[in-house]
Amino acid sequence: MKRFQFRLQTLLDHRKAREEELLGELAVLRREELEETLRLEKLSARFEKARHRYDDALRRCSDPAELFRHETYSLSLLDDIAVQKLTIEAVAERVNAKLGQVVEAMQQRQVLDTLRNNQRQAHIASEQRLEQNALDEMANVRYARDPRRSNAGRLTERGVKPRPISIPDERGHDRNV
């Protein structure tokens, strides 16, 4: 049986490698997104602590300089939180763009995989057909070589097929005897 060889195998290998590369890049971006989300949670926790300290300072009637410091710190944390949210949105957009590239690469690879599988099935069917034809041909040759059989499937006395004799009749037509 002839071995199947996909002519576009190098292209398929290239597309698989590209897909794996894009999946690696997507994993890095998702890790970055997770880190930025954790950073936002830490900033939010720090803001909550700062707000509680500010509320405590207000209840204690602290001096205005201390209140101003607490308020300024809380406002700077709010600014940091806003910037962090924008950073997370930017990273999320990059993740979505990379995800689109991964999906496109997967589709391109799957097209080639489907083509390869279809060609493999066609190759197998063709090889099976050739093998069956060879077996049929061998059976026909063996059957034809059997001297005891005639074309009509009857055996003669000596195992030889009789030849028909044609004799013309009165009208000139051949008549087999």
Q: Which residues contact 33 (CB under 8 A, 6 or more apart)?
A: 88, 91, 92, 95
Q: Tell me the pLDDT tens digit for each residue of 45-60.
A: 999 999 998 888 888 8
Nearest to 53 by CA among 79, 71, 76: 71
Q: Does pLDDT of 76 surpass 60?
A: yes
Using the structure block, give the residue that is written with the tokens 């957009």. Answer: 93
Q: What are the structural domains, with CATH classification, of the chain?
A: 9-144 (1.10.287)
CB distance 112 to 8 below 8 Å: yes
Average pLDDT over residues 86-111: 97
Q: Does pLDDT of 4 surpass 60?
A: yes
pLDDT of residue 146: 72
Distance CA 161, CA 158 (A): 9
Q: Tell me the pLDDT tens digit for each residue of 117-134.
A: 999 999 999 999 999 998
Confidence of residue 16 (pLDDT cuts 50, 70, 90): very high
20: its two tokens: 């794996």
